[in-house]
């Protein structure tokens, strides 16, 4: 029996974002995974999601994405997250600043047969860039 959608999402956040095991994402995401909010410069695929996550982890080695609240309806889970980190590596063409950020975001994930199938997400990128004192990309 597959875990509940919320259980699958909790496990994904704990493994991929809190423990930093980005490679484990491929085991938790369907091969035909679709990211409706892909990382800049990456395809809307499982591999694109992993590559974007790896870039974030390289730029912010202490990256933390903590679920604050989850809501489940049918096969979808909405997650309010707190995202934080310290800028120690290149990020979107910007050299490390050593500055920290903390913002909130919302992810919606569709789960089927115990695997993530789709992702929609928003985060306060403008606030993140302001806290890092970086210019937004036009």
pLDDT in tens, 106-136: 999 999 999 999 999 999 999 999 999 997 6
Question: Is the distance from CB of 103 to CB of 78 less than 8 angstroms?
Answer: no
Residue 49 has pLDDT above 60, yes or no: yes
Alpha-carbon distance 130 to 97, whole Å?
A: 12
Kindly indicate whether the domain formed by 5-132 is annotated with CATH number 3.30.390.10: no
pLDDT tens string 4-45: 999 999 999 999 988 888 888 889 999 999 999 998 899 999
How do the domains of the chain map onto residue ranges? 5-132
Question: Is the distance from CB of 43 to CB of 52 less than 8 angstroms?
Answer: no
Alpha-carbon distance 120 to 67, whole Å?
A: 15
């Amino acid at each position: 029996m597959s875990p509940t959608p919320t259980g699958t999402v909790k496990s994904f956040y704990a493994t991929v974002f809190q423990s930093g095991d980005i490679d484990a994402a491929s085991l938790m995401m369907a091969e035909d995974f679709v990211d409706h909010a892909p990382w800049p410069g990456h395809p809307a695929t499982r591999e694109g999601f992993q590559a974007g996550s790896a870039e974030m982890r390289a730029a912010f080695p202490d990256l933390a994405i903590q679920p604050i609240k989850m809501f489940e309806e049918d096969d979808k889970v909405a997650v309010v997250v707190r995202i934080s980190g310290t800028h120690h590596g290149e990020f979107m063409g910007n050299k490390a600043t050593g500055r920290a950020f903390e913002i909130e975001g919302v992810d919606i994930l569709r789960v089927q047969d115990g695997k993530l199938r789709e992702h929609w997400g928003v985060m306060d990128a403008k606030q993140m860039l302001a806290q890092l004192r970086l210019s937004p990309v036009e």
